């Protein structure tokens, strides 16, 4: 199970403490910028890389508009992850809110 959150919900989670922020977009999409503090795991690689994530951590997943990230949340929930959130509107919602993107830390 996972919850849907908007940009203000993401801000609230960030202010409460450490979260895992995961971008599941493609490499080409990520080159255009990410939300600060993001870790990039493309959706197609998530089944192989899910073990890199803490199943008990507060985890927010996002993509371009929210569809792929919802798939990622459903997959992770099926793997026992318990504190998952899908960013509604994805990066487009972030930009509509007037918020900035940064280059991915590599």
pLDDT digits (tens, 9 = 90+) for 49-76: 999 999 999 999 999 999 999 999 999 9
Residue 106: pLDDT band (50, 70, 90) is low
Environment class of residue 5 by beta-carbon count within 10 Å: exposed (0-12), middle (13-18) or buried (19+)?
A: middle
Confidence (pLDDT) at 51: 96
Residue 16: pLDDT band (50, 70, 90) is confident
Confidence (pLDDT) at 105: 82
Which residue among 13, 21, 63, 73 is the active-site one? Answer: 63
73 among known catalytic residues: no
Residue 36 has pLDDT above 70, yes or no: yes
């Amino acid at each position: 199970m996972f919850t849907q959150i908007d940009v203000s919900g993401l801000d609230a989670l960030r202010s409460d403490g450490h979260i895992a922020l995961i971008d599941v977009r493609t490499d080409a999409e990520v080159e255009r910028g990410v939300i600060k503090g993001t870790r990039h795991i493309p959706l197609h690689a998530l089944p192989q890389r899910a073990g890199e994530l803490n199943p008990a951590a507060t985890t927010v997943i996002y993509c371009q508009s929210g569809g792929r990230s919802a798939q990622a949340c459903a997959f992770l929930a099926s793997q026992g992850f318990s504190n998952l959130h899908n960013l509604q509107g994805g990066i487009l919602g972030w930009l509509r809110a007037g918020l900035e993107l940064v280059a991915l830390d590599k």
